[in-house]
């Protein structure tokens, strides 16, 4: 399927949607319904319900070990919930692998870059296109368009192993976008970035829903970026949902301040307030 976009990337190829139970057009929502994950005696997440909608940006925050990555793993087929369901377009995804989710339009990035270090940046993105069955020429042209959109075109021929950590994150986003996702889940894309770099990334992420017609879930500890980028925020603590709301509501929420914003997040909020 070829889809034209209004933004900088002119066209992108969507893979055929071969996951069971998924109908065209692309799913409008990806939902976790009352899901729990246990690792032996540890409850990593408990009874969490969350909905990601196409065209919107949802933030997912919480202290280290709160269960954010585990939740993303459930929403992308890397982890099966112990209880509860993940629904795509209201259809249950029981038994789906990560490959099923990917083919159904759910793409993610990882905290660690997972790039082929001996390949160039553009080749790293091209291989994703090759995996979708695109010709080399088509994969390369899409990869170059995405790199330009992400303001990384000057690094196209750089070996991935020589990239700055922050640039690795953006290459990971380019690879995920090449899949033409209906949903894009970003795991700490601004880690290690300066304020100027995270502001630039924030502008790009804010443009993703319209440009690529997808929904974004943003996991981030960088509160400046979360508050500036997300329309709604979901807060986890010790595996449980403690709040949901707009950035303004979350910044004032007493439970969130007590568990998270009172610690590492607060310093960042103070810096934000000084800067605005
Ligand atoms: N595969 C696993 N086996 C056992 N325990 C795990 C596994 N994955 C995560 N955990 C535990 O589950 C809890 C939630 O971890 P998770 O990585 O989801 O948190 P997080 O909110 O993403 O943390 P961070 O912000 O540090 O990335 C933690 O106590 C973690 O140690």
Its ipTM equals 0.97
Given a cut of 70, whether residue 1 has pLDDT beyond it is no
Q: From atom 25 of ligand 1, which residue's Cα is the shortest distance away? A: 64
Ligand 1 pocket mutation, candidates 44, 217, 238, criterion most atoms within 8 A of CB: 44
Ligand 1 centre from 153 Cα, in Å? 35
Task: Give the ligand 1 atom nearest the CA of 221.
Answer: 25
Ligand 1 centre from 152 Cα, in Å? 31
CA distance 213 to 234: 22
Q: From atom 11 of ligand 1, which residue's Cα is the shortest distance away? A: 44
Ligand 1 centre from 80 Cα, in Å? 14
Average pLDDT over residues 243-272: 80
Ligand 1 pocket mutation, candidates 43, 48, 60, 69, criterion most atoms within 8 A of CB: 69
Ligand 1 centre from 123 Cα, in Å? 32
Which pLDDT belongs to residue 206?
97
Given a cut of 50, whether residue 132 has pLDDT beyond it is yes
Which pLDDT belongs to residue 131?
81
Average pLDDT over residues 48-64: 96
Residues whose beta carbon lies within 6 Å of some atom of ligand 1: 39, 42, 44, 62, 64-70
Ligand 1 centre from 47 Cα, in Å? 16
Find out whether 174 and 163 touch, Cβ atoms under 8 Å: no
* Cβ neighbours around 246 below 10 Å, total: 12
Given a cut of 70, whether residue 124 has pLDDT beyond it is yes
Ligand 1 centre from 101 Cα, in Å? 21
Average pLDDT over residues 28-44: 96
Task: Give the ligand 1 atom nearest the CA of 239.
Answer: 14
Which pLDDT belongs to residue 111?
79
Given a cut of 80, whether residue 24 has pLDDT beyond it is no
Given a cut of 60, whether residue 4 has pLDDT beyond it is no
Domains with residue ranges and CATH for the chain: 2-15+25-275 (3.40.50.300)
* Cβ neighbours around 13 below 10 Å, total: 17
Whose tokens are 């976790």? That residue is 32
Q: Give residues with Cβ within 8 angstroms of 270, minimum separation 6.
A: none
Average pLDDT over residues 70-78: 97
Ligand 1 pocket mutation, candidates 38, 42, 78, 79, criterion most atoms within 8 A of CB: 42
What's the pTM value of the predicted model, to 2 decimals?
Answer: 0.87
Pairing label, strands 29-39, 83-88: antiparallel
Given a cut of 80, whether residue 92 has pLDDT beyond it is yes
pLDDT confidence bin for 10, thresholds 50/70/90: very low
Ligand 1 centre from 134 Cα, in Å? 36
Which pLDDT belongs to residue 264?
58
| Residue count (the chain) | 276
Closest-CA residue to 31 (of 236, 245, 183): 183
Task: Give the ligand 1 atom nearest the CA of 79.
Answer: 1
pLDDT confidence bin for 272, thresholds 50/70/90: low
pLDDT confidence bin for 114, thresholds 50/70/90: confident
Average pLDDT over residues 71-78: 96
CA distance 226 to 239: 20
pLDDT confidence bin for 2, thresholds 50/70/90: very low
Average pLDDT over residues 165-169: 87
Find out whether 79 and 37 touch, Cβ atoms under 8 Å: yes
Which pLDDT belongs to residue 110?
87
The mean predicted confidence, pLDDT, of the chain is: 86
């Amino acid at each position: 399927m070829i889809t034209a976009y209004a933004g900088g990337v002119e066209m992108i190829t969507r893979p055929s949607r071969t996951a069971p139970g998924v109908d065209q057009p692309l799913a409008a929502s990806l939902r976790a319904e009352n899901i729990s994950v246990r690792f032996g005696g540890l409850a990593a997440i408990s009874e969490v319900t969350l909905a990601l909608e196409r065209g919107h940006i949802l933030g997912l925050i919480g202290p280290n070990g709160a269960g954010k990555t585990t939740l993303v793993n459930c929403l992308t087929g890397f982890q099966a919930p112990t209880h509860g369901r993940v629904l795509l377009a209201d259809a249950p995804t029981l038994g789906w692998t990560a490959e099923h989710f990917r083919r159904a339009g759910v793409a993610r990035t990882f905290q660690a870059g997972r790039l082929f270090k001996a390949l160039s940046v553009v080749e790293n993105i091209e291989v994703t296109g090759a995996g979708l069955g695109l010709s080399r020429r088509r994969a390369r042209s899409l990869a170059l368009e995405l790199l330009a959109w992400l303001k990384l075109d000057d690094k196209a021929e750089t070996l991935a192993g020589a990239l700055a950590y922050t640039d690795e994150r953006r290459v990971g986003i380019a690879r995920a976008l090449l899949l033409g996702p209906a949903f894009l889940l970003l795991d700490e894309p601004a880690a290690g970035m300066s304020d100027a770099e995270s502001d630039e990334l924030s502008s790009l992420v804010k443009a993703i829903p319209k440009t690529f017609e997808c929904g974004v879930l943003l996991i981030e500890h960088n509160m400046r970026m979360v508050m500036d980028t997300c329309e709604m925020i979901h807060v986890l603590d010790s595996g449980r949902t403690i709040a949901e709301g707009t950035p303004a509501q979350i910044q004032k929420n007493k439970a969130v301040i007590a568990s998270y914003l009172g610690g590492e997040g607060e310093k960042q909020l103070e810096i934000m307030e000084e800067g605005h």
